[in-house]
Amino acid sequence: MTAAEKLEIDTTTIRQTYDAGFCCASTAEADRLHDLLTAHVQLLIPEVYALTPRMREDQRRLTDLVICRAKEHLEKRLEEWRAAPVTHVYDLATSSRALLTLYEYPGPLDEGQKTPVDAGK
């Protein structure tokens, strides 16, 4: 993917969506939020993964765990999703929030490296 093709990370929209996911109480709302949260998680995983080589050891291990769990949530079969849609949306919201936090605050990186948030300033 070239820089021109790279998608912009809309942190405000991601926050609004995962906040709604944490408050989700109905199947209809879960249906509405599922695709949005899935898209946010899919967008954030490669961005956060790209930061891991420059992270400190402990932060890298945490990031690996968050990415692994996020991928597990994305791989749920339709039957699993339909059995507990509100719970699944909550799990996706948790993954989205964790990934966004790591994206914005990856901890100290190798010297001279900027976070994606710092680079945009």
Per-residue pLDDT of the chain (121 residues; tens, 9 = 90+): 444 345 689 999 999 999 999 999 999 999 999 999 999 999 999 999 999 999 999 999 999 999 999 999 999 888 888 889 999 999 999 999 999 999 999 988 876 555 566 666 5
* Confidence at residue 111, expressed as pLDDT on a 0 to 100 scale: 64
Beta strands in the chain (DSSP E): none
Note whether residue 87 is domain-resident.
yes
The whole-angstrom separation of Cα 46 and Cα 62 is: 15
Domain count, the chain: 1
Number of H helices, E strands in the chain: 6, 0
Residues contacting 66, CB < 8 A, separation 6+: 48, 95, 98, 99, 102
Q: Is residue 114 a part of any domain in this protein? A: no
Q: What is the span of the domain harbouring residue 66? A: 11-106
For residue 111, tell me if it sits in a domain.
no
For residue 115, being part of any structural domain is answered with: no
Query: H or E element: which one contains 117?
Result: helix 116-119
Burial class of residue 86 (count of CB atoms within 10 Å of its CB; 0-12, 13-18, 19+): middle
What pLDDT sits at residue 108? Answer: 86
pLDDT at 120: 60
Is the residue at 68 inside a domain?
yes
Pair 54, 109: CB distance under 8 Å? yes
Q: How open is the CA angle 47-51-56, to the nearest 5 degrees?
A: 150
